[in-house]
A = this chain, B = another copy of it.
Amino acid sequence: MEGEPTLRLRIFDLNCWAIRYLSKRRQERVRLIGDTLCQQGFDLALLQEVWSEQDYSDLKVKLAGSYPFSHYFRSGVIGSGLCVFSRFPILDTLLYQYSLNGYPYMLQHGDWFCGKSVGLPGSRAGVTAPLLSLSLQLHAEYCRDKDAYLPHRLVQAWELAQFIRHTSKAADVVLLGGDLNMHPEDVGIRLLRGWTGLRDAFAEATRFEGCKNGCTLVPDNCFTDKSELLPFPLGIRIDYILYKAISSFTVKCEELKTTTGPAPGMDIPFSDHEAVMATLHIQRQGQPAGATLGTADPALADVVTEARTEVGVGLRAAQRQRYSSGRMAVLALLLLLLQAAAALGTLAGLGTEQPFPKLSFCLLAFLALGVLVLATGLHLFHTMEVKMLHGTDDQMWMVLRALQERP
Within the assembled complex, what's the spacing in Å between the Cα atoms of A283 and B79? 46
A57 interfacial contact with B, CB 8 Å: no
Total residues of chain A contacting the partner, CB 8 A: 48
Q: Spot the interface stretch: A11-19, A250-258, A388-396.
A: A388-396
A222 interfacial contact with B, CB 8 Å: no
Q: Mark A54-75, 1 if CB is under 8 A from B, else 0.
A: 0000000000000000011111
Within the assembled complex, what's the spacing in Å between the Cα atoms of A71 and B390? 13
Given contacts A387-B76, A391-B75, contact A94 B362 (CB under 8 A): no
Within the assembled complex, what's the spacing in Å between the Cα atoms of A184 and B122? 30
> By the criterion CB–CB under 8 Å, are A291 and B170 in contact?
yes
- B-side contacts of A171, CB under 8 Å: 169
Q: Who on chain B is nearest to A89 by CB?
A: B402
Give the shortest distance, in Å, between A27 (CB) and chain B (any CB).
Answer: 23
Contacting residue for A115 out of B122, B363, B384, CB 8 A:
B384
> By the criterion CB–CB under 8 Å, are A79 and B387 in contact?
yes
- B-side contacts of A167, CB under 8 Å: 166-167, 169
- B-side contacts of A115, CB under 8 Å: 384, 387
A90 interfacial contact with B, CB 8 Å: yes
Give the shortest distance, in Å, between A54 (CB) and chain B (any CB).
Answer: 14
A399 interfacial contact with B, CB 8 Å: yes
Within the assembled complex, what's the spacing in Å between the Cα atoms of A383 and B390? 29
Given contacts A77-B384, A99-B75, contact A94 B166 (CB under 8 A): yes
Within the assembled complex, what's the spacing in Å between the Cα atoms of A383 and B171? 34
The 9 A-B residue pairs with the shortest CB-CB distance, nearest first, are A169-B170, A74-B391, A74-B387, A166-B167, A366-B366, A169-B169, A77-B380, A77-B383, A94-B162
